[in-house]
Every structure is written in structure tokens, then in C-alpha cells.
Amino acid sequence: MKRLTCLACTLSVSVMVAAMVGWSIPAGNLFVPVIAIPLGMIVILACRRNVQEVICDERLNKVQSKAALRTLEVVVIAGAIAAVILYSFMISDSLNPKVTGRIYPGENGTNSMTINLYKPGSPETPENLVRTTTIRDINAMNESEAVNYCQYRREAFLENEQKGVEGMTIGVGLIAILVTFGAFYLYYDRKY
């Protein structure tokens, strides 16, 4: 097997394993990662063993270690800056009022809704309640009811999107690390 064939095989197996793990966790099927990850590792190792060409030598090791060290330096500095910025966002988030809402089915087939506004950074208890708005019919609300409803929906969306944002952050972080490493690798590969 050639080096490029092995690389293509490794990439396809990694993508397949990642896709299977990504699918199985939300589906609640924990057997898939337990089987897929070791199986993928075995396939990749078997591919590497069958390569007749030299995969890695001392020059490549030097290039990779230099690129990895520079990537680490850049990622640590950029990560520290990003962490401070994101943490300041988290602190300032508690200054926003907490909005909750609840829908009640009405007698005549309509749905009413109660929206509660609590003091910033406080638990949702009656003493921290700032304002309550009741929308008699959520299908026929007036202007102030609509404003309250929009604010509630915005809060709800933020909460729902939090997990997605976390996943995106990890994904973008990994891509940034890979791109940085790739750039340094190409630089040192040309240098040596």
C-alpha cells in the first residue's frame, strides 16, 4: 500500500467513525461508539502496517514537532484571550433579567400565556418577580403582549441554542488548531 492510499484510508475511517459516534450519542445508542472506535483504530493501524514506503522520518518528526510547538504557543495565547472575552460575556449575562413563560389552555379553545420577568442574576422566586404579563389569547395578542412574547421567545431560543453554540465552539476550535498546525507545518516543511 502507498502512503497516500493509507492517508486516504485513515481519513475516510476517521470521518466514518466520527459520523457514527455523532449519530449514536443523540440517538442514545452507546454500543455504536464502543464498537466503532476500536474497530476504526484497528483498521487504521492495519493500513499503516501495510505501507511499504517510509511514512515518517527524522526530518518529518522535526517539522511536525516544531509546527506542534508553535501551534501550542499560538493556541494558548489566543485561547487565553478568548477565554477572558467569553468569561466577561458570561458575567455580563447575569445582568440581563430572567424571563420565563407558561401556556395555559383556555375554556373556549384558546391558549393564554403568563410571562414572568425576574430580577437579574436572581432565582425565580416570587420576591424577585419584577413584572407579570398575561396574554389572554396568544393567537390574538396586542402590541405590549407581543413585545413581552418576543422577549420570552428570545430567552427560550438562547437557552435552546446554548448546546449548539458549545458544539460549534469546540468544532471551530479544532478547525482553528488544525489550520494553524497546517500553516506552520507547511512553513517548516519548506524551511527544512
Task: Find the shortest distance in angstroms from Cβ 58 to other proteins.
Answer: 5
Q: How far is the CB of 61 from other proteins (least distance, A)?
A: 10
Q: Is 27 in the site for other proteins (CB under 8 A)?
A: no
Whole-number Å distance between alpha carbons of 121 and 188 = 50
Stretch of residues binding other proteins (CB under 8 A), selected from 20-28, 40-48, 53-61, 79-87 = 53-61
Q: How far is the CB of 59 from other proteins (least distance, A)?
A: 4
Phi, psi of 142 (to 5 degrees): -85, -175
Residue 68 engages other proteins in binding (rule: CB under 8 A): no
Of 58 and 127, the one with the shorter C-beta distance to other proteins is 58
Which amino acid type is present at position 146? A
3-state secondary structure of 102: strand
Sole binder of other proteins in the list 43, 47, 60, 183 (CB under 8 A) = 60
Told to check if 49 binds other proteins by CB under 8 A, we report no
Query: Which DSSP helix (H) or strand (E) runs through 93?
Result: helix 58-93
| Number of neighbouring beta carbons within 10 Å of residue 10 | 16
Select the residue interacting with other proteins from 38, 45, 59, 134 (CB under 8 A): 59
3-state SS class at 140: coil
C-beta separation of 18 from 40 below 8 A: no
Q: Where are the beta strands (DSSP E) in 48-150?
A: 98-105, 111-118, 129-135
In the bound state with other proteins, the residue whose beta carbon lies nearer, of 59 and 154, is 59
Shortest reach from residue 189's CB to other proteins, in Å:
8
- Note the residues at the interface with other proteins (CB under 8 A): 53-54, 57-60, 62, 189, 191-192
